[in-house]
């Protein structure tokens, strides 16, 4: 397996229907140190290009494509076992949360809002490098014995978190779709960490945190909220309810590793 040590090791596949925009982003990528940039204009062309495995591959896509949305493209990637760990960066001027939700839930590295600066692009590319490099195992005794419960109604998000947790050396991972399922698991199984989304059917993250702190026999378990929720009032309420930490979606591997380490300690 080829090691990706820096931005120079990345091979970017840029999906952009506008020739002018494609050349502009290509120049910015080259100035950032990326040596290899391939350009396609549609989602179908991107999926076809990805049939050929390229070490250090990163997909950068516009939101609006001629044949599909960037959200559709990333969701198609995450359903393909070959591309579940492919770094995905979205470039868009879109600000409506509902239009970006699919990308936030998919395990994307970052969303770059137009117009973006070279520094913002550099941060996104470095996040992609971290994404391709599994972080070192957590410095915690008997980490393979830790039991982690992941609660998220997004299949792609659950898979992304599971992959990251395994790369940290955590082997015992339980997955469920919502807070109601999590309550059932917490009633029967002891866990060392709960990682939950906010917006879920049946029982959301806020209700789950409230249940854990007030009713569960595991009321002291660390709870990490990983969410795309943008309402600061709602998040503040969850924080007051006793969540250990809050991490925005999309998140980078280094940030989630640090938060998990702090919560477990």
Looking at the domain assignment, is residue 99 inside a domain?
A: yes
Domain presence at residue 106: yes
| DSSP letters for 250-264 | S--HHHHHHHHHHHH
Number of domains in the chain: 2
Residues 58 and 96 in one domain: yes
- Do 184 and 218 fall into the same domain? yes
Note whether 149 and 74 are same-domain residues. Answer: no
In a domain, 113, yes or no: yes
Instruction: Tell me if 195 is assigned to some domain.
Output: yes
Asked if the peptide bond before residue 131 counts as cis, ω within 30 degrees of 0, the response is no
Same domain, 118 and 163: no
∠244-225-102 over CA atoms, to 5°? 165
**Residue 64: inside a domain:** yes
**Measured between alpha carbons, how far is 62 from 179 in angstroms, rounded to an integer?**
34
**Token output for 171:** 């082997």
> What per-residue confidence (pLDDT) applies to 237?
67
Q: What is the domain extent for residue 99?
A: 7-132
> What CATH number does the domain containing 206 carry?
3.40.50.2300
Asked if 160 and 192 sit in the same domain, the reply is: yes
Q: What is the pLDDT of residue 245?
A: 79
Question: What confidence score (pLDDT) does residue 49 get?
Answer: 94
Residues 18 and 126 in one domain: yes
Indicate the angle between helix axes 118-132 and 19-32, nearest 10 degrees.
Answer: 70
Q: Which residues of the chain have pLDDT under 70?
A: 1-2, 97-109, 134-142, 229-231, 234-235, 237-238, 250, 252-253, 265
pLDDT at site 109: 67
Whether residue 137 lies inside any domain: the answer is no
Write down which residue in 103, 132, 161 finishes a domain: 132
Among 132, 164, 185, which residue terminates a domain? 132
Q: Which two tokens stand for residue 99?
A: 């239009």
If asked whether residues 11 and 126 sit together in one domain, one would say yes
Same domain, 117 and 155: no
- What is residue 182's predicted lDDT score, i.e. its pLDDT? 95
Residue 1 is predicted with a pLDDT of 45
113 and 170 inside one domain: no
Is there a single domain that holds both residue 242 and residue 149? Answer: yes
Residues 175, 97, single domain; the answer is no
Same-domain status, 207 and 258: yes
pLDDT tens track for 169-225: 888 999 999 999 999 999 999 999 999 988 888 898 889 999 999 999 999 999 998
Residue 138 lies in a domain: no
CA dist 4 → 52, 54, 121, 191 (Å): 18, 12, 18, 34
Structural domain contains residue 49:
yes
Residue 7: its pLDDT value, please?
92
Task: Please report the pLDDT score of residue 97 as a whole number.
Answer: 64
Q: Of 87, 110, 132, which residue sits at a domain end?
A: 132
């Amino acid at each position: 397996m080829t090691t990706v040590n820096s931005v120079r090791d990345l091979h970017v596949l840029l999906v952009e229907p506008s020739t002018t925009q494609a050349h502009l982003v290509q120049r910015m990528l080259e100035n950032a140190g990326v040596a290899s940039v391939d350009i396609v204009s549609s989602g179908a062309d991107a999926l076809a290009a990805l049939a050929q495995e390229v070490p250090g591959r990163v997909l950068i896509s516009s939101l609006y494509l001629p044949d599909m949305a960037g959200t559709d493209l990333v969701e198609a990637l995450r359903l393909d076992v070959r591309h579940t760990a492919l770094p995905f960066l979205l470039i868009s001027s879109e600000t409506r949360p509902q239009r970006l939700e699919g990308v936030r839930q998919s395990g994307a590295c970052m969303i770059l809002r137009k117009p973006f600066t070279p520094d913002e692009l550099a941060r996104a590319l470095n996040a992609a490098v971290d994404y391709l490099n599994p972080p070192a195992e957590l410095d915690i005794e008997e980490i393979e014995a830790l039991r982690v419960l992941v609660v998220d109604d997004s299949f792609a998000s659950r898979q992304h978190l599971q992959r990251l947790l395994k790369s940290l050396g955590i082997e015992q991972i339980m997955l469920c779709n919502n807070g109601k399922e999590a309550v059932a698991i917490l009633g029967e199984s002891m866990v060392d960490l709960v990682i939950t989304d906010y917006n879920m059917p049946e029982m959301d993250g806020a209700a789950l945190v409230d249940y854990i702190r007030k009713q569960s026999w595991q009321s002291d378990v660390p709870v990490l909220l990983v969410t795309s929720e943008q309402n600061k009032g709602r998040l503040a309420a969850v924080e007051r309810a006793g969540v250990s930490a809050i991490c925005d979606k999309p998140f980078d591997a280094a940030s989630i590793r640090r938060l998990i380490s702090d919560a477990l300690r």
